[in-house]
Chains A and B, each alone.
Chain A
């Protein structure tokens, strides 16, 4: 095998054979509703990207002047609210079932970093609103960034820079990390529930 394409294909199929990539059944413990929240988070992310794409096509001031623009802005805002709501419940569920067990450390880490990147992704949206609220948040954020010594790299008073971060750079990172997170889940499988402790399963003392 000489070509890099063949090597890449072999490595991909070896790491994620089709029956693992797109399984047609899942373990019985996945009947619990707590396992829904990862998929709900992805559903909210798809809505964010779709509504955000429409807002990006029409420009940042569209939602101020047309009711249909206001409608899509509201879809965008509330899908972000749901995204974080579902992601936090997903995070709590995975934390309390110690989801990094069984060689799943990278699954846990990609999820945690996605959460950390999603926060500035949302914050840059708040300062892209083009209203008094965004001006207030930007002036407060400026002091925060300067106190960290990164004000010359991330100028929150520069609308163009923050808008680029919000609609391109940070969403690319979030979508990339979520894709990697899902592929790692497919590779390692859904984490099983924690086993009962010996104390919990032991027969009661007479």
Chain B
């Protein structure tokens, strides 16, 4: 990651009225939301084989 992006500087911040958050933290939260929404629609790998009683 360090080779792709220059991380050797203080983080940039998002500011809106009283709200303040670093860009890395905002990126992680957005990623969590994306993974959460995707997990609701995706099947677990190998789920068909392990299916048990309803």
Question: Which residue numbers of A lie inside 8 Å of B, CB to CB?
Answer: 25-28, 30-37, 81, 85, 88-89, 92-93
Question: Which listed residue (B32, B43, B44, B51) contacts A85, Cβ 8 A?
Answer: B32
Pair B44/A31 contact, Cβ less than 8 Å: yes
Chain A: minimal CB distance from B46 (Å)? 9
- Among B11-50, those with CB < 8 Å from A are 28, 31-32, 35-36, 38-40, 42-44, 47-48, 50
Pair A93/B36 contact, Cβ less than 8 Å: yes
- Report B-chain residues with C-beta under 8 Å of the C-beta of A33: 38-40, 42-44
| Number of A-B contacts defined by CB within 8 Å | 55
Identify 14 residue pairs between A and B in the complex whose beta-carbon atoms are under 8 Å apart, listed by A's number: A25-B50, A25-B51, A27-B53, A28-B52, A31-B48, A32-B44, A33-B38, A33-B43, A34-B36, A34-B40, A36-B39, A89-B39, A92-B32, A93-B39
Interface size range of chain B in the complex: 10 to 19
Question: Which listed residue (A27, A37, A92) contacts B52, Cβ 8 A?
Answer: A27
Q: For chain A, what secondary structure do more than half of its interface residues adopt (helix, strand, loop), or is it mixed?
A: helix
Pair B44/A35 contact, Cβ less than 8 Å: yes
Pair A30/B53 contact, Cβ less than 8 Å: no
Pair A25/B53 contact, Cβ less than 8 Å: yes
A39 CA to B31 CA, complexed, in Å: 19
Chain A: minimal CB distance from B43 (Å)? 5
B9 lies within 8 A of chain A by Cβ: no
Pair A31/B40 contact, Cβ less than 8 Å: no
A31 CA to B50 CA, complexed, in Å: 8
Chain B: minimal CB distance from A128 (Å)? 21
Pair B36/A92 contact, Cβ less than 8 Å: yes
Extra 4 A-B pairs, beta carbons < 8 Å, given A31-B48, A33-B42, A33-B44:
A28-B51, A28-B53, A33-B43, A81-B28
Pair B39/A32 contact, Cβ less than 8 Å: yes
Pair B32/A89 contact, Cβ less than 8 Å: yes
Known contacts being A31-B47, A31-B48, A31-B51, is A89 close to B36, with CB within 8 Å?
yes
- Report A-chain residues with C-beta under 8 Å of the C-beta of B42: 32-33
- Report A-chain residues with C-beta under 8 Å of the C-beta of B39: 32-34, 36-37, 89, 93
